[in-house]
């Protein structure tokens, strides 16, 4: 035994580490509950074990295993011979405003299997996803429409939670047209246009997201105030806005490709045009684990990375931008404000 640890401290550390080692069990348990329909079944009304297995056509013994695990995770409760969702479990409902149902599927499928190669990614510095699935992640999504929709739906869940602060914290009223580059389904752009009724917006995205973006943005009050332009931000970005938003875009790419995106943003903006980058900022020193697992996931999936503020400053300077300030948000993201010189 390490004499530097007391028996109680050793016991505590052993239990914590033991629980961390089976985090994959938790991911798959929650993913299975969503995938098999147990969560949505319990949304309708509390059910007995017999109700659940008959409704969902599940094996009785195995279903009991899963329900016990969900009780242990405090997602389901059991009382009077009946199972029902806890308040935590309700966040897995598909219609919850901050639903984590789609992320539960996302993290328990291809993202999950790609992590089997994390050691190789660390050795090579390359995304293991590309080796396992034969293509870079975003091209693979483009060629698998159902997976692309699932991915965007999962991101929408996080956007509903995280992006609600952005229009309040950054004043868009001094701008006339906002260009959201790589804006996915348009959640953030929709929020900005709703809060600032005098400005117009453009969503610039890949062709496979056109219908999803139009569906999300086609709401009362936004008619004739938005456009969806299709293209690739590595080729060219349309010269249409006096401010460009890059929300959780740059972290998907290595420095070389991030510079290409930023250079194209620079070319697209008028003189003194603004750029806001919305990303998680890594702490400047290595003694913090904040954002570390997400950073590792980016390596495995896309070869991208989270960055420190200094790293973003260097990227901005190298591509002609002048760093102005940062705006902290209550979520994990920070708003980085820059200006075209």
Active-site residue identified among 96, 161, 251, 314: 251
Instruction: Identify the residue whose tokens are 């490709």.
Output: 257
Rounded Cα gap, residues 190 and 71, in angstroms: 38
Q: At what angle do helices 23-35 and 7-21 cross, to 10 degrees?
A: 40
Tokens representing 287? 């003694």
Buried b (16+ CB within 10 A) or exposed e, 114-141: bbebeeebeeeebbbbbeebeeebbebb
Is residue 314 part of the annotated active site? The answer reads: no
Question: What is the number of other CB atoms lying within 10 angstroms of the CB of residue 227?
Answer: 16
Q: What are the φ and ψ backbone dihedral angles of 333, each rounded to 5 degrees?
A: -90, 155
Instruction: Identify the residue whose tokens are 């009780």.
Output: 71
Q: Residues with catalytic annotation?
A: 251
């Amino acid at each position: 035994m390490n004499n530097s640890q007391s028996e109680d401290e050793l016991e505590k550390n052993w239990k914590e580490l033991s629980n961390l080692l089976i985090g994959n069990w938790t991911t798959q348990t929650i993913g299975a509950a969503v995938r098999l329909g147990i969560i949505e079944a319990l949304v309708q009304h509390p059910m007995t074990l017999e109700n659940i297995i008959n409704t969902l056509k599940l094996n009785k013994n195995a279903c009991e295993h899963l329900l016990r695990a969900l009780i242990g995770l405090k997602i389901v409760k059991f009382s009077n011979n009946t199972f029902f969702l806890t308040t935590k479990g309700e966040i897995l409902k598909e219609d919850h405003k901050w639903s984590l149902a789609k992320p539960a599927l996302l993290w328990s499928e291809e993202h999950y299997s790609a992590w089997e190669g994390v050691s190789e990614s660390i050795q090579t510095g390359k995304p293991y996803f590309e080796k396992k699935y034969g293509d870079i992640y975003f091209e693979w999504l483009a060629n698998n429409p159902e997976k692309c929709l699932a991915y965007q739906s999962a991101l929408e869940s996080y956007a509903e939670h995280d992006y609600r602060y952005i229009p309040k914290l950054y004043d868009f009223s001094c701008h006339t047209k906002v260009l959201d580059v790589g804006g996915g389904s348009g959640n953030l752009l929709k929020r900005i246009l709703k809060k600032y009724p005098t400005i117009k917006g453009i969503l610039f995205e890949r062709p496979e997201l056109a219908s999803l973006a139009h569906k999300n943005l086609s709401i009362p009050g936004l008619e004739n105030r938005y456009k969806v332009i299709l293209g690739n931000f590595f080729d060219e970005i349309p010269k249409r806005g006096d401010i460009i938003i890059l929300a959780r875009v740059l972290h998907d790419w290595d420095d070389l490709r991030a510079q290409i995106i930023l250079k194209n943003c620079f070319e697209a903006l008028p003189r003194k045009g603004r750029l806001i980058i919305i990303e998680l900022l890594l702490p400047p020193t290595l003694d913090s684990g904040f954002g570390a697992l997400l950073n590792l996931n980016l390596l495995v999936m896309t070869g991208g990375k989270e960055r420190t503020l200094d790293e973003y400053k260097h990227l901005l300077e190298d591509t002609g931008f002048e760093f102005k300030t940062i705006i902290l948000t209550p979520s994990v993201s920070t708003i980085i404000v820059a200006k075209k010189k």
